[in-house]
Structure 1
Amino acid sequence: MSRHDLIIVGGGLAGSALASVMARAGKEVLLLEKSTVYEDRVRGEWIAPWGVTEVRRVGLYDTLMAAGGHHLTSHVTYDETVAPGEAEAKAIDLGIFAPDVAGPLCLRHPVHCQTLFDKAGNDGATTLRGVEVRQMQLGADPSVTYVHEGVEHVAHAPLVVGAEGRQSMVRKACGRALVQDKPHHWFAGLLVDGVQGWNDTRQAIGTEDDFAFLAFPQGGTRMRVYGGWALDQAKRFAGADGADKFLAAFRMKSAPHNDAIADGTPAGPLYAYYNNSSVVDAPHAQGGVLVGDAAGWNDPILGLGQSITYRDVRMVSDILKDTASGAAPDFRPYEEERRERMRRLRFTAYIQATLDMEFDEKARARRHRYHEMGAVDPTIGMHAAAVLAGPEALPPEAFTPEHAARVLGEEPAFA
């Protein structure tokens, strides 16, 4: 039996980042990770400017940059209803959304995870991989029973953190229900090498015909790309030639630079999944707290998983560091902030998915109207600033049914 100040289940971004912060604060941290190798599972590799601010606040920015972090400084939105030159003339400077942040930060997910896991260990946390968690108990005397290298162990701590993602065992132990929205569209991601001639500091999104894309350079000629398509085409990119078909879908008249992506070489697996948001009303219970996807996630259409995670880590670690020895931490401020944060981001994701990831004539007319209105009234797109500047940076009216109706030209089908 071992005793610790904190047991963290899940050694991905959330768990490893929190372990690093708390170990640097002088706490005895046990970090348990199931995997032995961080594989490319097509997770997010983009941190919004407001998320970069959170990375800095938890003291991990220099670590990520040393591991190969790459900033993007401009953004273009392409669309079949807008001429390419017109779209590029309206490129957005991504350095305006957070103080002293050049723009979003990109880093390959497996590298990101390994870097943080190593950092946690170097900072003094006990870090174990290849762990099978068999049982846990929360409440007044939390404990975790796990197997490592064939030996069963029981660890005790005043608090167990669930950082093990969407299928969180800690969430179940907390007795918290996960409520998911109905899926809206299919989404897939692929790492691509040999993308020649693309400005590697420019990200882009766009929609044409029955496909929408997002492109995030990682430096040099490597790029992480994502694509979205309708739910009724579940097998569209299935099979041995799925990656080739996926890249071919990037060829668009409205985004001519995408030819460089289509001519690239797959450098990892192609995984498809449906997009939706989820919520956990209270991400804590006696003896347990949830961070990252374990606490509910935002629709990946916004790419904010890592930014949300770093905000979670910062808020939970601040509360723990401010809690007197022997006292129970009060996570209600975290619960309240996260509830409103995720409500606003869920709303923004609904608008963005409706605009970018629907493909019939009605959807094309909707996007055309949106772009025309935006040319004369920039406030029509103010909800989108929540993605880059943070949801708290916008006034409450940006997240109302009235604003959604103004953007979409119809009453929103959103609860």
Structure 2
Amino acid sequence: MAAVAAGAGVGLQLIGAAAATLLAAVLVAVVLGRRRRLVARAPLVEGKPAPEDGCAVGDGEGAAGDGGTDVIIVGAGVAGSALAYTLGKDGRRVHVIERDLTEPDRIVGELLQPGGYLKLIELGLEDCVEEIDAQRVLGYALFKDGRNTKLAYPLEKFHSDVAGRSFHNGRFIQRMRQKAASLPNVQLEQGTVTSLLEETGTVKGVQYKTKSGEELKAFAPLTIVDVPSCFVGLVLENCQLPHPNHGHVILANPSPILFYPISSTEVRCLVDVPGQKVPSIASGEMANYLKTVVAPQIPPEIYDSFIAAIDKGSIRTMPNRSMPAAPHPTPGALLMGDAFNMRHPLTGGGMTVALSDIVVLRNLLKPLRNLHDASSLSKYLESFYTLRKPVASTINTLAGALYKVFSASPDQARNEMRQACFDYLSLGGVFSNGPIALLSGLNPRPLSLVAHFFAVAIYGVGRLMLPLPSPKRMWIGARLISGACGIILPIIKAEGVRQMFFPATVPAYYRAAPAAEYCVIALVGELSKPTPDATSGKMERLFTWIAWKSSREC
């Protein structure tokens, strides 16, 4: 029996190695082709002078006192604050309207992947993770049925400071707000946006209520809307994780549990509770669920801290949603952040996608001296939706696929896929480095993601066929492959096959900057409930409804 088991192990390794080699060859060909396309495209964005100053919108009441605003940003969260600083640093006059400028207290937006940290560096915001007791994150540890494996980020080729970061979301946001407000051309104001102002199909600005209750209007031609996503969680105090400086994922029943440090003395625990209706916190149902269903599956090293956190009553819930990026190109409007695109928080990729989007938008706007012709600018910015795809679609697809694979199921084929994924990652080398590079945002290549996903499925089938195949095992293997397709293909379809794998074939990919001069608004944040006297424009109703509905559900 030992000889048979050893032979099975060797055969399994050979199958994995052969699959990885074949997939690697395909990836190399794709990467080389993409690089050639990028070189050919470079002159469209690079080499153009940055704007020396902005321009007044010139059509009404400017929010800024200096005669006009180039960009209005609604919401000063992660995306809004970073966008305000980035555009302000490029010379744009920015007016930020935030519902509440006090430090936020949220249970999401606390884990920044290394790829997101690299985007912070690119935006000049890396010092925002300093002086907030942020913790370095060097990888993940996976736990399943008493076994565990450690997956390190492939950081060998980067500066020693490059790693993931985990922190209190509110502290991070306040640091970015301070950084943005330090620029003389960036104005932060507390107020609640109630509607977007539309004129002949173009969003011209916003109507908002100030902290004192005064109703005002602000004008600028590009609007960017952002709304936060949701989850469920609690904080463990004075708790030492089994693997320091690592996120911990427990493949529990019925769904995964995530632990990561948010300060030197606190650990965040996120428990995914499936279903639309979660147990009530007020009645004690949630505490009972956590103690009876979740706690027995927690590693013994942190069990006592987990129970103590439940007894303390610091349980909070936020709805979790996924939403593919559906472009809404409209003159004067641009969706960004979670109003535009959401994914499951399991992989902690939300901030990485948001910061990557800001880099793309910054690069598109930089060649423009000002931003006044909303129609031409909107057509030019259609390329934003394509250029963001490599990073965004990789992280979105991985988040959705991993959540489904890591969740328990009564289906034997799904459970085989779950076990195969754990064992595949435990092999180490290319089998763990590839997936963790995707998760970290360091390798945003959709084809690499698909290759590894189906390599896991093939690995699972190979395990089933050893030492000897049987009709039952073959049937389970066939259902495993079918189930894998059922998981990833709908996600890819929602993201857009052409935009995801062949972005260079999309006409907007090559769209050059308009020759005329223009002017911008950016809305990044929450809108309040729509009012009866609000402008009746189609895009205004869409944005207001999205923001109001999401903020109410949270």
TM-score, with length taken from structure 1 = 0.81
- The one-letter code matched in structure 1 to 2:151 is I
- For the 8 Å contact 1:283–1:291, the answer to whether it is kept is no
Whether 1:202 aligns to 2:251 is no
Whether 1:158 aligns to 2:229 is no
Aligned identity (percent) is 17
Instruction: Identify, as 1 or 2, the structure richer in strand.
Output: 1
Find 1:142's aligned residue among 196, 199, 204: 204
Deviation at residue 350 of structure 1 after TM alignment:
3.0
Q: List aligned pairs for 1:46-61, cutoff 5 A.
A: 46-61=111-126
Q: What are the ranges of 5 or more consecutive residues in structure 1 without an aligned counterpart?
A: 167-185
What is the aligned partner in structure 1 of residue 420 from structure 2?
Answer: 369
Whether 1:298 aligns to 2:357 is no
Q: List aligned pairs for 1:25-64, cutoff 5 A.
A: 25-64=90-129
- The one-letter code matched in structure 1 to 2:367 is D
Whether 1:392 aligns to 2:447 is no
What is the aligned partner in structure 2 of residue 285 from structure 1?
Answer: 330
Find 1:76's aligned residue among 131, 134, 141: 141
Whether 1:216 aligns to 2:256 is no
Whether 1:133 aligns to 2:194 is yes
Higher relative contact order (CA 8 A, sep 6+): 2
CA distance in 2, matches of 1:225, 1:206: 11
Alpha-carbon displacement from aligned partner over 1:51-104 (angstroms, at most 9, x marks no partner): 110011111111222333221124211111xx43xx2xx422235277225421
CA distance in 2, matches of 1:393, 1:98: 18
CA distance in 2, matches of 1:205, 1:120: 35
What is the aligned partner in structure 2 of residue 173 from structure 1?
Answer: none
Deviation at residue 235 of structure 1 after TM alignment:
1.9
- For the 8 Å contact 2:70–2:94, the answer to whether it is kept is yes
- For the 8 Å contact 1:237–1:245, the answer to whether it is kept is no
**Mean Cα displacement is larger for which, 202-211 or 246-255?**
246-255
**Are the structure 2 counterparts of residues 158 and 233 from structure 1 closer, same or farther at C-alpha, using a change threshold of 3 Å?**
closer
CA distance in 1, matches of 2:79, 2:363: 14
What is the aligned partner in structure 1 of residue 178 from structure 2?
Answer: 118
SS, match of residue 76 in structure 1: strand
CA distance in 1, matches of 2:89, 2:405: 44
CA distance in 2, matches of 1:187, 1:14: 18
Alpha-carbon displacement from aligned partner over 1:332-379 (angstroms, at most 9, x marks no partner): 332102344433333312321122122446344432233334455866
SS, match of residue 481 in structure 2: coil
- For the 8 Å contact 2:81–2:180, the answer to whether it is kept is yes
Larger C-alpha radius of gyration, 1 or 2?
Answer: 2
CA distance in 2, matches of 1:273, 1:233: 12
**Mean Cα displacement is larger for which, 188-197 or 46-55?**
188-197
- The one-letter code matched in structure 2 to 1:353 is Y
CA distance in 1, matches of 2:165, 2:452: 30
Deviation at residue 144 of structure 1 after TM alignment:
1.5
**Mean Cα displacement is larger for which, 48-57 or 262-271?**
262-271
CA distance in 2, matches of 1:22, 1:204: 36
- For the 8 Å contact 1:41–1:269, the answer to whether it is kept is no
- For the 8 Å contact 2:395–2:441, the answer to whether it is kept is no
What is the aligned partner in structure 2 of residue 317 from structure 1?
Answer: 362
CA distance in 2, matches of 1:189, 1:58: 30
CA distance in 1, matches of 2:247, 2:419: 21
- For the 8 Å contact 1:44–1:303, the answer to whether it is kept is yes
What is the aligned partner in structure 2 of residue 180 from structure 1?
Answer: none
Q: List aligned pairs for 1:160-239, cutoff 5 A.
A: 160-165=223-228, 188-196=232-240, 200-231=244-275, 234-235=278-279, 239=283
**Are the structure 2 counterparts of residues 164 and 259 from structure 1 closer, same or farther at C-alpha, using a change threshold of 3 Å?**
closer
CA distance in 2, matches of 1:201, 1:371: 20
**Are the structure 2 counterparts of residues 152 and 392 from structure 1 closer, same or farther at C-alpha, using a change threshold of 3 Å?**
same
Whether 1:272 aligns to 2:317 is yes
SS, match of residue 271 in structure 2: strand
CA distance in 1, matches of 2:163, 2:294: 24
Deviation at residue 304 of structure 1 after TM alignment:
0.9
**Mean Cα displacement is larger for which, 17-26 or 384-393?**
384-393
What is the aligned partner in structure 2 of residue 331 from structure 1?
Answer: 381
* Alignment root-mean-square deviation, CA: 3.2
**Are the structure 2 counterparts of residues 347 and 384 from structure 1 closer, same or farther at C-alpha, using a change threshold of 3 Å?**
farther
**Are the structure 2 counterparts of residues 144 and 232 from structure 1 closer, same or farther at C-alpha, using a change threshold of 3 Å?**
closer
Deviation at residue 383 of structure 1 after TM alignment:
4.2
- The one-letter code matched in structure 1 to 2:404 is T
- The one-letter code matched in structure 2 to 1:287 is G
- For the 8 Å contact 2:279–2:286, the answer to whether it is kept is no
CA distance in 2, matches of 1:268, 1:307: 31
Instruction: Identify, as 1 or 2, the structure richer in helix.
Output: 2
CA distance in 2, matches of 1:195, 1:250: 17
CA distance in 2, matches of 1:224, 1:143: 39
- The one-letter code matched in structure 2 to 1:99 is F
TM-score, with length taken from structure 2 = 0.63
**Are the structure 2 counterparts of residues 75 and 97 from structure 1 closer, same or farther at C-alpha, using a change threshold of 3 Å?**
farther
SS, match of residue 272 in structure 2: strand
- The one-letter code matched in structure 1 to 2:225 is G
- For the 8 Å contact 2:438–2:444, the answer to whether it is kept is yes
**Mean Cα displacement is larger for which, 8-17 or 241-250?**
241-250
CA distance in 2, matches of 1:399, 1:137: 45
Q: What are the ranges of 5 or more consecutive residues in structure 2 without an aligned counterpart?
A: 1-60, 63-67, 461-479, 491-554
CA distance in 2, matches of 1:247, 1:122: 47
- For the 8 Å contact 2:71–2:92, the answer to whether it is kept is yes
CA distance in 2, matches of 1:141, 1:39: 29
- The one-letter code matched in structure 1 to 2:190 is R
- The one-letter code matched in structure 1 to 2:213 is G
**Are the structure 2 counterparts of residues 234 and 99 from structure 1 closer, same or farther at C-alpha, using a change threshold of 3 Å?**
same
Deviation at residue 48 of structure 1 after TM alignment:
0.6
- The one-letter code matched in structure 2 to 1:289 is L
